Amino acid sequence: MTRAATDPRPDTSAQAGDAAGLVDRLKAAIGAAHVLTDPADMAARLVEDRGLFAGTALAILRPGSTGEVAECLRLCRAAGVAVVPQGGNTGLVGGGVPEGGVILTTGRLNRIREVDAANATMVVEAGCILDSIQRAADAAGFLFPLSLASEGSCQIGGNLSTNAGGTAVLRYGNARDLVLGLEVVLPDGRVLNDLTGLRKNNTGYDLRNLFIGAEGTLGIITAAVLKLFPKPAARATAMVACDGPAAALALYGRMRASDADTMSAFEYIERPALQMVIDHAPGCTDPMAETHPAYCLIELTGGGAQGELDARLESALEAAFEAGQIADAVIGASEAQRDALWALRENLSEAQKPEGASIKHDVSVPVSRVADFIETAKAACLDHMPGLRPCPFGHFGDGNLHFNLSRPADMEDAAFLAEYPAFNRIVHDIVHAMGGSISAEHGIGKVKRAELRRYKDPVAVELMGQIKAAIDPDNLMNPGKVL
């Protein structure tokens, strides 16, 4: 191969194709103990959480520093071997599942490098588990608000690479909104150092935001500067029963008008989904004496006294009750009761598993269309398969629903899952017609590549391809994902 003198890529021709010696070179670079090749050691990282996808890999690499990540990428690139980054492996779209190549895990990059109280920022390495970051922020007197049900095992590098959402987006935004700077190792081993904690910095293209949400296809995030927020002194939490999505939307409009300054969560759960939690999640019980078609979990947080915030929530809900928008409500009277209400929401994904296969959609529509979407999509899906058990739930206030469909009680899992493409088409067509997105927070991964091409603006897809080719010309960073 001849190379132009201006070609910015390193000349790797001497080693190209030399994948055979790669494992030895990687062992020399980061230590033999951190290059796993035994199938038993690799098994758990070759599959995705739900077991829907499985792959193969040459080895698992566990570098312990940014420099070691850079060396791994240089060696893999020279050998023409693909690299699949993995954090906590809790992603739900198959983005971390390898198709050959090596898996690079970030678990050893787990230092909190700095908590800067004066600037309300912290610098963390990619492998820090999300709940350890929350705890470190708390210990320093701050809040790091990103919050997901998987926070005990997902890592901040994975959160940023998927631009994770969760239950506090309404107030604080998604992962992208919580970052001021990044350190990224590029596919050729160069290190992009953008670890500035500046709140304002208009010096050209926004490179940071290219890597956030890129699902590991452009490089490996090794560290980030995160924004910290004042720790709320109080939180008031209610589970509210209502008639269905239209009533929930009316309630949301009312709450936003009166309490937008303190509302930090507005989550929605339909009864069939809540019933699965009551039936299957240990310690979870029905919050009310009677059953209702739908529920909203609402939380206000603020700096005032607990009693004041509770009273504020109570009076808003009383007004909603008098207006006929809600049927019943329970306000958590203690920290334990507030946690118990949240447990009903946090156990939703897990509680669907014992009920057999489910087909999941992670979609968003304009908030004003959420109720319309739920009713229209439920009717269309039931029309396609009578007996189906729709379990819509999710981040109603963000217009983001996990529109999950549990199989009919008497149907085989395999026969039901064979209908995945048909249900995708039904649901995604409705989402698209309403100006929504086929992936609100979980990303594209392997699962939604074809759907991305079907629904996204073609110029946007073309530009994404050009950016990918510019940063990763050999297509070695997590190939087969997103694009």
Chain positions contacting ligand FAD, by CB under 6 A: 49, 84-92, 95-96, 106, 126, 148-150, 154-155, 157-159, 161-162, 164-166, 215-216, 220-221, 349, 441-442, 445, 478, 481
Phi first, then psi: give them for residue 471, nearest 5 degrees.
Answer: -90, -30
Angle at alpha carbon of residue 72, lines to 66 and 76, rounded to 5°: 150
Nearest approach, Cβ of residue 69 and ligand FAD (Å): 9
Q: Whole-number minimum distance, CB 87 to ligand FAD, in Å?
A: 3
CB of 481 to ligand FAD, least distance (A): 6
Residue closer to ligand FAD, measured from CB, 199 or 353: 353
Map residue 290 onto helix, strand or coil.
coil
> Min. distance of Cβ 68 from ligand FAD in angstroms?
13
Pick the closest to residue 370 from 249, 244, 242 (CA basis).
249
Sheet-wide strand order for 220-227: 112-116, 121-125, 220-227, 179-185, 191-194
Nearer to ligand FAD, 221 or 388 (CB): 221
- Closer to ligand FAD at the Cβ: 179 or 326? 179
Please, what is the minimum distance in Å from the beta carbon of residue 98 to ligand FAD?
9
The full 3-state SS of 195-231, as one line of letters, equals CCCCCCCCCCCCCHHHHCCCCCCCCEEEEEEEECEEC
Residue with Cβ nearer ligand FAD (319 or 464): 464
Of 148 and 309, CB closest to ligand FAD: 148
Do the bridges between strand 83-86 and strand 102-105 make them parallel or antiparallel, or are there none, so unpaired?
Answer: parallel
For the bound state, the minimum distance from the C-beta of residue 151 to ligand FAD, rounded and expressed in Å, comes to 8
How many Cα atoms within 13 Å fall on the side-chain side of residue 475? Answer: 8
Is the Cβ of residue 301 or residue 349 nearer to ligand FAD in the bound state? 349
Q: Name 166's Cβ contacts closer than 8 Å, sequence gap at least 6.
A: 146, 147, 148, 149, 174, 395, 441
* Spatial distance between the Cα atoms of 164 and 25, rounded to a whole number of angstroms: 35
Question: Minimum CB separation from ligand FAD for residue 104, in Å?
Answer: 8
Helix-, strand-, coil-residue percentages of the chain, each rounded to 5: 40, 20, 40
Instruction: Say if CB 159 and CB 131 are below 8 A apart.
Output: no
Asked whether 39 and 33 are in contact (CB, 8 A), the reply is no
Residue 148 or 331: which CB sits closer to ligand FAD? 148
